[in-house]
């Protein structure tokens, strides 16, 4: 049985879609596995009027697909409490404080509190301020922690303002900024593959790696999200957070230990060396795109999507080259791309190693060995290497050593939100973004967006169902490289 975690978990936005789809089932899985036993309680809070019984029924419905023992589920649900609250009104926190103190005594929670903000980002600072001013942050507890959903700002300026608001109530070590990609099993495998195998650990540098590629491609279009997406685009929606956090695991120095403090320090050593481009460098190193119709005409172009302005310059595709000004990565490009209406759904990392010295003669061709970590939709690891062909002549061919996550493994793998909630309860910040990384990612992205805002692009410039504009391929071709994943 795992060690029991003692905590009071409060979900702001407790009647929302995320709470019902992800947060309550994830918390229930932690209960089934024994991380939560007797000494825990959960509060849901929102504007909606609900009785305790109605709230319990909401939780019951949200976990229904995960229940194997109804008595077990009812025991879990009995630890749930609901309070109606206007989170913008300081007076509304008095009743919450009373409930917190009551549950702390009832379940012997030691003053340990986690506040999870599943609300609009504009409320993050307000809630944090009132948690402190109205006395909900305990002085005698083992911990108080704040979990917040993305987006963390919409630019460096807005992110810094939010950080300043939060830091008035919480220390940075208490703030757990969620990027659910960091909770994905195969993203966490990057560290295991890289640092757990001397072969890769020793070769993870400019002497052996030619380039590294990160692809996050989607087949869907903007769907019904134009109101948000047209102000964010692929650059802010996918590059600033998910992509940059994956890059952090790839580019980081080797940490002194696998403790979160050392992991963050190693990542920040890389983030702090990331070259931030001027306007001319953006034009040289980044490509933007916007999808047009599909070749068969069945998919409409972005500009014809509902609620998209007819003259929108929004990017639905981004490809670019990152450069880290550190000895480990001198001269090694990190290529990234993300977009909608592409040929295939895939999140993957391709590490392209340099070709070996050819001692076999003029007729023998060697390929670049490639290590691939498949993140979504199927998890797996592939390693393409040179081997001898079966012919009588001494020729080579590429063979693929591969492993795919089994169905049995999938059943045992925690969902990202389950892992993130558990890590926050455990005080492990390894898989959360810290302020330094967030700030640099925003400065990097802001520089790109400002350069793009100063010019107009002729859109659309790629066909729905392709892998983006041709300029994306040209970006790598300039360096003598090409994308490993063709869609």
Catalogue the E-assigned strands of 71-199. 80-84, 113-117, 144-148, 175-177
Peptide bond into 170 cis (omega under 30): no
How far is Cα 319 from Cα 288, in angstroms, rounded to an integer?
Answer: 7
Q: Are the C-beta atoms of residues 468 and 328 closer than 8 Å to each other?
A: no
Written as six digits, the tokens of 295 are 């070749």
- Pairing verdict, β 334-339 and 209-217: parallel
The single residue listed with the structure tokens 């970006």 is 475
- Pairing verdict, β 370-376 and 380-388: antiparallel
Length of the chain as a residue count:
487
Any residues with CB less than 8 A from the CB of 188 and at least 6 apart, and which? 182, 431
Checking phi first, is residue 297 left (phi over 0); if not, alpha (psi -120 to 50) or beta? left
- Given the residues 39, 79, 180, 242, select the one marked as catalytic: 242
Q: Are the C-beta atoms of residues 130 and 12 closer than 8 Å to each other?
A: no
Q: Please report which helix (H) or strand (E) contains residue 266, including its range.
A: helix 260-271
180 in catalytic set: no
From residue 10, give the alpha-carbon distance in Å to each of 127, 270, 342: 12, 35, 39
Hey, which residues are catalytic here? 242
């Amino acid at each position: 049985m795992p060690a029991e975690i003692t905590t009071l978990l409060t979900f702001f936005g407790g009647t929302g879609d995320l709470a019902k789809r992800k947060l309550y089932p994830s918390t229930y899985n932690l209960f089934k596995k024994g991380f939560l036993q007797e000494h825990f309680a959960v509060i849901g809070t929102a504007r909606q009027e609900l009785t305790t019984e109605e709230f319990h029924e909401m939780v019951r419905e949200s976990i229904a697909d995960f229940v194997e023992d109804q008595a077990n589920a009812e025991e879990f649900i009995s630890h749930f409490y609901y309070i109606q609250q206007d989170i913008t009104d300081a007076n509304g926190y008095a009743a919450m404080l009373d409930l917190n103190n009551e549950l702390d005594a009832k379940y012997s929670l030691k003053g340990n509190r986690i506040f999870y903000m599943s609300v609009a980002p504009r409320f993050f600072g307000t809630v944090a301020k009132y948690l402190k001013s109205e006395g909900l942050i305990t002085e005698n507890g083992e911990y108080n922690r704040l979990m917040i959903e993305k987006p963390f700002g919409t630019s460096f300026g807005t992110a810094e303002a939010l950080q300043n608001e939060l830091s008035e109530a919480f220390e940075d070590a208490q703030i757990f900024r969620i990027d659910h990609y960091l909770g994905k099993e195969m993203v966490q495998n990057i560290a295991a593959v890289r640092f757990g195998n001397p072969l890769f650990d020793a070769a993870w540098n400019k002497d052996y790696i030619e380039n590294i590629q990160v692809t996050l491609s989607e087949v869907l279009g903007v769907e019904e999200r134009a109101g948000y997406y047209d102000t964010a685009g692929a650059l802010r929606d996918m590059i600033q957070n998910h992509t940059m956090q994956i890059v952090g695991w790839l580019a980081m120095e080797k940490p002194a230990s696998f403790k979160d403090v050392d992991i963050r320090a190693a990542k920040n050593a890389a983030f702090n060396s990331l070259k931030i481009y001027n306007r001319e460098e953006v034009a040289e190193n980044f490509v933007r795109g916007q999808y047009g119709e599909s070749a068969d005409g069945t998919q409409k172009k972005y500009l014809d999507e509902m609620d998209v302005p007819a003259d929108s310059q929004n990017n639905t595709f981004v490809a670019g080259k990152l450069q880290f000004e550190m000895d480990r990565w001198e001269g090694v490009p990190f290529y990234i791309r993300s977009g909608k209406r592409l040929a295939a759904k895939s999140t993957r990392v391709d590490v392209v190693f340099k070709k070996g010295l050819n001692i076999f003669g003029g007729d023998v061709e060697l390929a670049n060995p490639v290590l691939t970590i498949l993140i979504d939709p199927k998890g797996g690891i592939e390693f393409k290497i040179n081997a001898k062909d079966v012919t009588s002549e001494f020729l080579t061919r590429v063979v693929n050593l591969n492993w795919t996550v089994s169905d049995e493994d999938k059943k045992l793998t925690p969902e990202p939100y389950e892992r993130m909630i558990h890590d926050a309860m455990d005080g492990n910040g390894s898989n959360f973004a810290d302020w330094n990384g967030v700030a640099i990612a925003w400065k990097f992205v802001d520089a790109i967006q400002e350069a793009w805002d100063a010019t107009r692009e002729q859109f659309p410039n790629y066909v729905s169902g392709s892998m983006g504009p041709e300029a994306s391929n040209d970006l790598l071709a300039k360096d003598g490289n090409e994308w490993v994943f063709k869609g």
